[in-house]
Amino acid sequence: MPPSIEARQLTKRYGQFTALSGLDLSIQGTKCVGFLGPNGAGKTTTMKILTGLIRATKGTALINGVDVASDKKAALSSCATLIETPEIYPSLTPKEALSMLCEIRGVPRQDRNKRIDDALARVKMSEWADKKVGGFSKGMKQRVNVASTLLSDPEVIILDEPSSGLDPRGMSEVRDIVLSLRDRLVFMSSHLLAEVTEVCQEVALIDHGKLLVYDTIENVTAKFAGGGGAAEVGFAGNVDEQLRARVSKLPGVTSTTKSNDRHLIVKYDTAVLTQDKLLESVAGLKAGAITFSQASGLEDAYLSLIKETL
Amino acid sequence: MSREGSKAAVGSLAHVGIAAKYNFLNYFRARRFYVMLAIILIIAGLLTALVGYYRPPGFVDGGALGFYGAGWGSFASIVVVLSAAFFGGDAISGEFQNRTGYFLVPNPIRRSAIYVGKWLAALAASTIILAVFALAMLANGLFYFPGNVPWEFVESFAFAWVYLVAAMSLAFAFSSLFKSSSISVLMSVILLLFVFSVIDTVSSLVAGIEPWFSLTYGAGIVSNILNVPYPAAKTVTPFGPGGRFTVVSYNATVPEGLLILLVYLVVMAVLGLILFERKEFTS
């Protein structure tokens, strides 16, 4: 039976606030699926329900066909997880902490040391293997957390923003690790669309606790990226409404969206404008534009889908 | 794809052992263990120095039993309360506040196995502290009364350990109730050191009711066993002009005391476990 993750009418309410609203999602087979959505969309809530950290108000979460709520132990027996940024008992060393997980997950005694050494080597933490975790930086702890998902040869791996807290080198290493796990089912949430594009074959996009789309990246991009082009422009200063309006009024620009304080995603009509002309126009504003890059198709689709739900 | 050959099924009992082993390792290496040990050694050292210098009659004139009653009998309950609060007070709340639960809980292990494992680890660490204090008192006793260790001291140690087990269950229940480590530790200390004592006093002196519902009333057997004869179950003491007023005091018998401790152990352990099973990692 292929590995699987399934959410059936998954609902989670915190008082009046609905974090998940009847989420239906069925993922089967060995692949990497990116789980995308804005902050508060319900990504972490879904993953917490899948891993038994919280209970659903309604609905069912299944891993490999086993209901997590009724038998967490069986459901997670072939599943490794990394939810948010866990802390490890500060007086333990990475070797001891990983040994604890090996024992819990039933890794045979004779294999434990090798598995732990290999996992720590993959996250470049071998030389820290016998130091107490209490003195580690957030990034070092996250490396050990990533190592913890590699120990027991799991069929399903659930990763909630695995690059969180890591430096650029660490992020790149995590990407390589996730790429090497394509013979399993990896379900990974991330805000880094470039990372998702690089390592995932499929994406599930949710917003306001509801699934907007689940398909291959190619299909999502083809369906929702829309016609025209998109570019991300970085400015030296903060992007205010006045600046956004000036860019929006440029000939051929169809819409602008702030991606963060200093960046604008600019969508344009390719029949009117080419990328180099857009660059010239933006530079001509003399508004402090310092970077210009083509936005990915996934980013375009993401912005299109999220915008539609606002 | 099948990866079945790479691992074996682990039973819940084995999971309890694993959780206990690594939690004990964490306790044993943590600063708090050595702080607690230092507190106990300071108490024992002060007792040793003061008794050696002043030779108070209550310690040295009442024979070996009187000595253990004045030393061990007076302080064992405090050691129990501090140990339970130190090691059990934030055992569960710490998993939420310090986020260590995110590392341990999303694994193929039942929450009940984590709970029991942590409980055993905290009990083991506390037992070491209690044993160190008992050994310090024993060394003092043997110095003043060589070769004379009353059987009642052994019984008292056993009762103190049962009190520790019950107090640990109470501390774990509080730890499961609160998400803040400091609040759960503080509540455990306040409840065990002050609230129960106030309840005992108000119940017996003001209301004239035997406080059979109080944990510390049951724990009275730890010191009472060192009194010969064992204190009466109910004592009425007249006072005031012509003995017009009376003060009623109660003492739990050994079976009553053990029963009270046992009931607290079971009820609080079950309550704490239910709370932990229902608690969500929402932060």
Please, which residues have CB within 8 angstroms of residue B17's CB and are 6 or more apart in sequence? B117
C-beta atoms of A81 and B106 within 8 A: yes
Rounded to an integer, the average pLDDT of B159-172 is 97
For residue A149, the model assigns a pLDDT of 94
In chain B, the residue whose alpha carbon lies closest to the alpha carbon of A155 is: B3
Domain boundaries, chain B: 12-278
C-beta atoms of A86 and B102 within 8 A: yes
Distance between CA B103 and CA B150 in Å, rounded? Answer: 48
C-beta atoms of B18 and A104 within 8 A: yes
- Long-range pairs of B187-191 with CB within 8 A, sequence gap ≥ 24: B187/B89, B188/B84, B188/B85, B188/B88, B188/B89, B189/B81, B189/B82, B189/B85, B189/B89
What are the φ and ψ backbone dihedral angles of A79, each rounded to 5 degrees? Answer: -135, 130
In chain A, the residue whose alpha carbon lies closest to the alpha carbon of B27 is: A91
C-beta atoms of B30 and A85 within 8 A: no
Best interface-test mutation with B: which of A87, A96, A136, A187 has the largest number of B CBs within 10 A?
A87
With CA atoms as reference, report the closest residue to A73 among B176, B13, B179: B13
pLDDT over 50 (residue A270): yes
Please give the DSSP secondary-structure letter assigned to residue B244: -
Distance between CA B51 and CA B140 in Å, rounded? Answer: 9
pLDDT over 80 (residue A253): yes
CA–CA–CA angle B91, B109, B21 (5° rounding): 50
Chain A residues in contact with B26 by the CB 8 A cut-off are 89-92
What are the φ and ψ backbone dihedral angles of A63, each rounded to 5 degrees? Answer: -120, 125
Q: Which of A153-162, A192-201, B223-232, B269-278 has the lowest mean pLDDT?
A: A192-201
Please give the DSSP secondary-structure letter assigned to residue B92: T
Best interface-test mutation with B: which of A89, A115, A157, A183 has the largest number of B CBs within 10 A?
A89
C-beta atoms of A54 and B280 within 8 A: yes
The whole-angstrom distance between A53's CA and the closest CA on chain B is 5
Rounded to an integer, the average pLDDT of B3-16 is 75
Name the residue among A54, A78, A154 with its Cβ closest to that of B281.
Answer: A54
C-beta atoms of A97 and B103 within 8 A: yes
Q: In terms of pLDDT, which residue wins out, A232 or B203?
A: B203
pLDDT over 50 (residue B145): yes
For residue A309, the model assigns a pLDDT of 53
- A44-56: pLDDT as tens digits: 999 999 999 999 9
Domains of chain A: 4-222 (3.40.50.300), 225-309 (3.30.70.100)
Burial class (CB in 10 A: 0-12, 13-18, 19+), B206: exposed
Q: In terms of pLDDT, which residue wins out, A185 or B245?
A: A185
For residue B152, the model assigns a pLDDT of 96
What's the whole-number average pLDDT of chain A?
A: 91
In chain A, the residue whose alpha carbon lies closest to the alpha carbon of B103 is: A86
Q: Which of A92-96, B222-226, B231-235 has the lowest mean pLDDT?
A: B231-235
Chain B residues in contact with A92 by the CB 8 A cut-off are 22, 25-26, 29
In chain B, the residue whose alpha carbon lies closest to the alpha carbon of A159 is: B106
Q: What percent of chain A has pLDDT over 70?
A: 97
Rounded to an integer, the average pLDDT of B78-102 is 95
Best interface-test mutation with B: which of A50, A71, A103 has the largest number of B CBs within 10 A?
A103
C-beta atoms of B7 and A153 within 8 A: yes
- B154-165: pLDDT as tens digits: 999 999 999 999
Rounded to an integer, the average pLDDT of B201-217 is 91
- B27-85: pLDDT as tens digits: 999 999 999 999 999 999 999 999 989 888 888 888 899 999 999 999 999 999 999 99
For residue A310, the model assigns a pLDDT of 47
In chain A, the residue whose alpha carbon lies closest to the alpha carbon of B98 is: A87
For residue A258, the model assigns a pLDDT of 82
Distance between CA A184 and CA A287 in Å, rounded? Answer: 48
What's the whole-number average pLDDT of chain B?
A: 92
Rounded (10°) angle between helices B72-88 and B111-144:
160
For residue B96, the model assigns a pLDDT of 94
The whole-angstrom distance between B172's CA and the closest CA on chain A is 18
Q: Which two tokens stand for residue B53?
A: 């210098």
For residue B6, the model assigns a pLDDT of 58
The whole-angstrom distance between B205's CA and the closest CA on chain A is 46
pLDDT over 50 (residue B4): no
Name the residue among B26, B102, B108 with its Cβ closest to that of A73.
Answer: B108
With CA atoms as reference, report the closest residue to B8 among A97, A63, A111: A111
Query: If pLDDT is split at 50, 70 and 90, which confidence band does A147 have?
Result: very high
For residue A307, the model assigns a pLDDT of 65
- A192-227: pLDDT as tens digits: 888 898 899 999 999 999 999 999 988 888 777 666
pLDDT over 90 (residue A191): no
Distance between CA B94 and CA B178 in Å, rounded? Answer: 10
Rounded to an integer, the average pLDDT of B152-179 is 96
Answer for the pair A233, A291: CB distance below 8 angstroms, yes or no.
yes
Distance between CA A299 and CA B55 in Å, rounded? Answer: 82
The whole-angstrom distance between B13's CA and the closest CA on chain A is 11
Best interface-test mutation with A: which of B32, B87, B93, B102 has the largest number of A CBs within 10 A?
B102
Please, which residues have CB within 8 angstroms of residue B195's CB and are 6 or more apart in sequence? none
